[in-house]
Amino acid sequence: MQCGGVILDHGWLRLYGGGCPERGLPSLAEANGLDGSELGALPNFAVAHDVLGGLYELSGPHSDRPGEPGEIC
């Protein structure tokens, strides 16, 4: 089974999944600019966005964001 993403709170928060162009949801790969040729961990990995332009990222081991690796910023 595939999931384009998850839309929460009547569309205010959108979690990335496999992507759904009809709903304006990019895939996890598209949201992070990945094309399959990358090696290694990203500093931050986008997992969601909100309608006000907020971006929610999972902090990686080399993140420049506050908090510990594995936390959402």
Q: Is the pLDDT of residue 4 over 90?
A: no
Residue 28, amino acid? L
Q: Per residue in 26-47, pLDDT tens?
A: 888 888 888 777 666 678 888 8
Sign of the Cα pseudo-torsion (17, 20, 25, 26, in order): positive
Q: Per residue in 48-71, pLDDT tens?
A: 989 999 999 888 888 888 888 888
Which tops the pLDDT comparison, 58 or 25? 58
**In contact, 43 and 60? CB cutoff 8 Å:** yes
- pTM for this model (two decimals): 0.75
Sign of the Cα pseudo-torsion (12, 44, 26, 33, in order): positive
43-to-6, 11, 52 alpha-carbon distances in Å: 24, 27, 23
